[in-house]
Structure 1
Amino acid sequence: MKYISIDLETYSDVDLQKCGVYRYTQSSNFEILLFGYAVDGGAVQVIDAACGEKVPIEFIKALTDDSVTKWAFNSSFERVCLSVWLKRNYPHYFSSYSIDEDTVRDYLDPAAWKCSCVWSAYMGLPLSLAGAGTVLGLEEQKLKEGKDLIRYFCVPCKLTKVNGGRTRNLPEHDMEKWNLFKFYNKRDVEVEMSIQDRLKKYPVPDFVWEEYHLDQEINDRGIALDMDVVENAIAFDAKSKAELAEKVRKLTDLDNPNSVVQMKQWLADNGLEMDSLGKKEVAQAVKTAPKELAEVLLLRQQLSKSSVKKYQAMQNAVCEDGRARGMFQFYGANRSGRWAGRMIQLQNLPQNHMPDLEQARGLVESGNYTALELLYDDIPDTLSQLIRTAFVPRTDMKFVVADFSAIEARVLSYLAKESWRSEVFKNNGDIYCASASSMFGVPVEKHGENGHLRQKGKIAELALGYGGSVGALKAMGALDMGLTEEELQPLVDSWRDANPNIVRFWWDVDRCVKDTVKNRVAAETHGIRFFCQSGMLFIQLPSGRRISYVKPCMGENRFGGEAVTYEGVGGTKKWERIESYGPKFVENIVQAISRDILAYAMRTLSHCFICGHVHDELIIECSMGVPIDAVCEQMGRTPPWISGLLLRADGYECSFYKKD
């Protein structure tokens, strides 16, 4: 036996979508109903465990045999489910990995597992079995009845008189459906094997699988939650919202102060027409609205703050040992291959700016609502700023949080050979000040000479590096920061004049992509290689990884000009044809290389307990004696495949997670 393809059908009374697979499997009611598997590409077998069929001992032994590769689509689900099942039913066969001090001990070693979903994502295909099968045009397609069958057999059912008052559907309640469910399980294994067969010409590099295994280890490890903070925050939010709603009710006589329709009508009746009650629109209206209307708007804004949802997500995901697991999806972001957040979504946590963060946290942790209400005017905002602080290290340990300084700007400058920018990074300068200085031809110092220009440099850096223009500046909030409409185009022109090599890089990439797609010839610029193969466009990165674009062809852009288009998941979150051009491809390239640098740092620091990562930041749980400088030095090492790139990592230590 060399490899085994697996698909499971399971039951639990825990909501998988809300709670994640780690919490899902901890239910005492969790069980595996069907084991679909095939050995070495052979015929698919389905073991009907729900009806008493026994799993072959060879299958059980293979689960802990490192010489047998286990394949599944979204294999983290199968691996975690089989870890729990094996521990419960065959504990003498179960073995974990890592060291005793780690918190991964309940799970099978991911090093012997591979994931067809990751392979699909690597090729720019959809992240679902059905979607990948459809795009690849496989003969075997995932059965459309699957969702209904899963709903019937895999989750609790509603108690009714018709079903005899049961809360779960078993095979004997509908054998016709059950037999179809077994066929569905078999078909999923067949589709998964067909995907592997179709993609075998494009293997995922071994180092990417090593990154995947490290990702699974980080997900297995999890990150601890202070559940006193979480539960008290939820209770405080409910109390605060009730008080705010009552205040708005008294001021407006509205039945439901949360109703957008009722609130807009009340405002209109009082002389203030508003198309939207969004955060920006309310903030703008408050500036000019009469005092009594402004008061209602501000209260309504507090009332609509949804900070409690993050705490509820924590409550849903937390495991029996107080840790939340499964927070990161490997290769979750299309094109760049960056990680995507799952469950609690660490990638979009609110920032904290409170000077007395620790004091506010202490009040919530101890359950002192009276003091919190006395000291803080806006309780929803306070709770929002405290979300990060619910993540804590284990007892007698600390967090070291380290991140790269201006990683995308450094990579872009390096690739484009914009030497003045590289000098700024070499001297540990402020890129926003340097950019403003280059744009306006005067010295700019933060909090010093011409300091007011730094903000213009910052917004230009953030908005214009990938071909953005006036619209990008507006989307970045340029007008809200005090810039005028008349200043925007000159700002774009100044930035581009100051960065001619970056502008040239955009259009060199544009030319290479078009040549490659039109003429099916390989092209290269700035150390990046472009080529087409079997209906795919590939961009070869310095790390050896590729970015993949499905079915590229020449088309017309919205302005009537020539453009490259390809198939992928677009802004609608659906599979569609996407139009692109040089600067957008440059964005994909820079973000992909930045992702590879983070992955390299994670492997360098894999001997540490990495328990989380957010964009270009690592969260490491370590003993009190670990020096921050050593962590930052190791994180900031330049990978050998991009020699000459200037990297810097900065860090801080804390007893709870926060934004320093």
Structure 2
Amino acid sequence: MQLHLDVETRSSVELRTCGVYKYAQHPHSDVWCVCFATPDRPEPRLWLPSDKVPHEITEVVEDGGTLHAWNANFERIIWKFVLGPRYGWPEPDLTQWRCSMAEARAFGLPGSLKNAAVALNVEHLKDAGGTRLMQRMARARRWDSGEPVWWDSDPEKLERLHEYCKQDVRAELALSERIPPLCETELQTYRLDQIVNDRGITVDRKLVAASQAMVAAADQRINAKLQSVTGIYSTNAASRITSWIKERGVKCDSLKKDAVASMLNGQIPGDVRQVLELRQEGAKTSTAKLRAYEKAVCPDGRLRGSYQFHGAGTGRWAGRLVQIQNLPRCMNGLDVDAAIDDVLAGNLDRVEERHGRGKDVVSSLLRAMLKSPDEKELVGADFASIEARVLAWLAGEAALLQAFRSGEDVYRKMAASIFGCSIEEVTKERRQLGKMAVLGCGYQMGHKRFREQCLAFGIKIGEYLAGRVVTIYRETNSEIVGYWAMVEEAAKRTAFDGSANKAGPVTCSMEGSVLRLKLPSGRCICYQQPKVEQVMTSWGELRPQLTHMHQNSVTQRWERTPTYGGRLVENITQAVARDLLVAAMFRLEHYSFRICAHIHDEVVAVPTFQMSNPVRRMEELMIKTPPWAEGLPVAAEAWKGKRYLK
């Protein structure tokens, strides 16, 4: 039996910032209604908190049927903490849940119900007016501490909310009939994702609170210094600071991060330099993650719900809430333990005297705020240069594969080729450029884009050197260059005439109006409604190019976009790297590592028992490749500690 459902809720806390786990456990959180339907009875039925448990709900749970919802994580957690304990709903097993949103994302569709419905032109579109009503009724109308919460329970509005909930069920059910279910391996991966999200990772709440107090003290000090120099009260007064700098005879069009850094690299008066440095420190945004920690951490001190399954078209995860995937790295040379002690002591003078600027130190400790539970240790490991390794394997770049297998420093080797010197003569700065070349030029990047990327990472190079780097990379890696063309031609041919075509270990095929790129793991990347049409290139040449429908990440519109060999190869490479990570995660769980976080190509876990050498054991499990990746030279480096620092 299949049952499709949607839940409408209310609370005095904000779902968007605290996440469903904390939201569902809050005493003010409750359910307005639940609507559900089945394929054989598609008209949704309404359940209200005053009703008994519907017999359909009891039947589907007890008979081992499946429960389908758009973003099923929300319904599942509300069921666990609200519908079950308060209203007596029988709790289903995790294996009974199916997430229509996850299925849509894996099918190359948008993640929102409304946008997916637009993309597939389904009959039952999401009710836009109902969305606004739902958002208003989800929040308390008035709530003062110690007073009862007041909700807007106007009968007419409630009736509209019930119809909105029914319409969501209709839309989800209609989409489910058009979207294929996850394959068995991806369904298992979705379940593992839910287990990791449920488990969460411990947050050092004392350090978060102390860091917030230190940031407030640092801001007060920074603004006082700014006022003494300029008469301006806050580093947030960008327009006034800009005018003051111009009055000092210095050109200033913007106070954005890159613009400030550029001005500081030039010749400017001392007082302007001081003001720019104060602005740079005061405008540091990474410390905003302290508020994100505070809002999202659950009552037991754990951060949950940090990962969006299939957040990217490649299958990789997207970050949610605190976004631990992009926490800033630690300052070079910082004594983390000593810095934590000093921040906890609340002495800003001591912190700045011993470690550096207060907000910089706090920013460097954001990772360390994730810690092991109780007296246990975290053990983590990440793949080394995984995309470069996967790309070489896909393309059959024999020399590069052999270099990885023999443990050569491929970045230093590339730098030696670029600068025409011996490997021994490669400096740290030259090696960094070699690293940028190996990691950046594998996806058909031109010299202008490569130069822009280098500048973004603080590496200053001219157009001539950028062009030389691209040329040397392509001459050295001719199989990779050939693979761009091979993949593009195979995809275009498949989109044009529907034939199946191979590109190395990847197979292109059409299924209805969807181009499917079958990866070595057996999973597919999907491109909706592909076409081969004449497209004007950036260099002014009209040429046949593959296009497909996708959601614009800026406008959120469903629109046609061109693609090319390098981008397709990038998608394939990242998808294969993701499948390797998934395989490693399953091995780690099987061998008693309980995963509490994963960041890009890194996994962080807690062993369930005392291991003699957990670091070596994790490395062994990470580098073991699945049968489909035979010959792929994988390497990993592991660490252990009480806090997440890498």
TM-score by length of 2: 0.94
Contact (CA 8 Å) 1:141, 1:191: kept in 2 or not? yes
Aligned residue number for residue 52 of structure 2: 54
Q: Secondary structure at the match of 1:209?
A: helix
Aligned residue number for residue 531 of structure 1: 509
Q: Please tell me whether residue 444 in structure 1 is matched to residue 456 in structure 2.
A: no
Deviates more, 1:256-265 or 1:475-484: 475-484
Q: CA deviation at 1:453?
A: 3.3
Q: CA deviation at 1:552?
A: 1.0
Contact (CA 8 Å) 1:152, 1:169: kept in 2 or not? no
Aligned residue number for residue 617 of structure 1: 602
Q: Distance in 2 between matches of 1:92 and 1:193?
A: 22
Aligned residue number for residue 262 of structure 1: 240
Contact (CA 8 Å) 1:118, 1:331: kept in 2 or not? yes
Which of 432, 447, 468 pairs up with 1:490? 468
Q: Distance in 1 between matches of 2:643 and 2:345?
A: 15
Q: Distance in 2 between matches of 1:149 and 1:84?
A: 24
Q: Please tell me whether residue 454 in structure 1 is matched to residue 431 in structure 2.
A: yes
Q: Distance in 1 between matches of 2:80 and 2:150?
A: 24
Aligned residue number for residue 598 of structure 1: 581
1:40-119 correspondence to structure 2 within 5 Å:
40-50=39-49, 52-60=50-58, 62-63=60-61, 65=62, 67-89=64-86, 93-94=90-91, 109-119=93-103
Q: CA deviation at 1:543?
A: 0.8
- What's the Cα RMSD here? 2.1
Aligned residue number for residue 296 of structure 2: 317
Change (3 A) 1:169 1:478: closer
Change (3 A) 1:232 1:226: same
Q: CA deviation at 1:167?
A: 5.6
Deviation readout 1:250-289 (Å, 9 max, x if unpaired): 1011244321111110000000111221222222212311
Contact (CA 8 Å) 1:338, 1:592: kept in 2 or not? yes
Contact (CA 8 Å) 1:507, 1:582: kept in 2 or not? yes
Contact (CA 8 Å) 1:341, 1:347: kept in 2 or not? yes
Contact (CA 8 Å) 2:35, 2:165: kept in 1 or not? yes
Deviation readout 1:366-404 (Å, 9 max, x if unpaired): 434342133234111111110000001111210101011
Q: Please tell me whether residue 125 in structure 1 is matched to residue 109 in structure 2.
A: yes
Structure 2 stretches lacking a partner, 5+ long: none
Q: CA deviation at 1:86?
A: 4.2
Q: CA deviation at 1:475?
A: 2.4
Q: Distance in 1 between matches of 2:59 and 2:576?
A: 39
Q: Distance in 2 between matches of 1:468 and 1:191?
A: 41
Q: Distance in 1 between matches of 2:28 and 2:65?
A: 30
Which of 351, 357, 365 pairs up with 1:378? 357
Change (3 A) 1:66 1:281: farther
Aligned residue number for residue 568 of structure 2: 585
Q: CA deviation at 1:444?
A: 1.5
Structure 1 stretches lacking a partner, 5+ long: 95-107
Deviation readout 1:70-98 (Å, 9 max, x if unpaired): 1100000000000012442367955xxxx
Q: Secondary structure at the match of 2:550?
A: strand
Deviation readout 1:73-124 (Å, 9 max, x if unpaired): 0000000000012442367955xxxxxxxxxxxxx64222110001100111
Aligned residue number for residue 413 of structure 1: 392
Contact (CA 8 Å) 2:53, 2:88: kept in 1 or not? no
Change (3 A) 1:373 1:440: closer
Aligned residue number for residue 367 of structure 1: 346
Q: Please tell me whether residue 168 in structure 1 is matched to residue 150 in structure 2.
A: yes
Q: Distance in 2 between matches of 1:218 and 1:180?
A: 36
Contact (CA 8 Å) 1:153, 1:169: kept in 2 or not? yes
Q: Distance in 1 between matches of 2:602 and 2:618?
A: 12
Q: Secondary structure at the match of 1:476?
A: helix
Q: CA deviation at 1:306?
A: 1.4
Aligned residue number for residue 642 of structure 1: 629
Aligned residue number for residue 452 of structure 2: 475
Q: CA deviation at 1:488?
A: 1.3
Q: Secondary structure at the match of 2:250?
A: coil
Q: CA deviation at 1:644?
A: 1.1
Q: Distance in 1 between matches of 2:482 and 2:426?
A: 31
TM-score by length of 1: 0.92
Change (3 A) 1:474 1:439: closer
Change (3 A) 1:364 1:57: farther
Deviation readout 1:290-338 (Å, 9 max, x if unpaired): 11111111111001001221111010011110001000000011x2110
Q: CA deviation at 1:46?
A: 3.2
Deviation readout 1:155-181 (Å, 9 max, x if unpaired): 112589xxxx9963343x2x2222121
Change (3 A) 1:426 1:364: same
Deviation readout 1:190-245 (Å, 9 max, x if unpaired): 1111111112xx44211100000000000000100000110111111011011101
Contact (CA 8 Å) 1:549, 1:566: kept in 2 or not? yes
Residue identity opposite 1:531 in structure 2: S
Deviates more, 1:307-316 or 1:361-370: 361-370
**How many residues of Structure 1 are paired with residues of Structure 2 in the alignment?**
632
Q: Secondary structure at the match of 1:653?
A: strand
Q: Distance in 2 between matches of 1:449 and 1:149?
A: 63
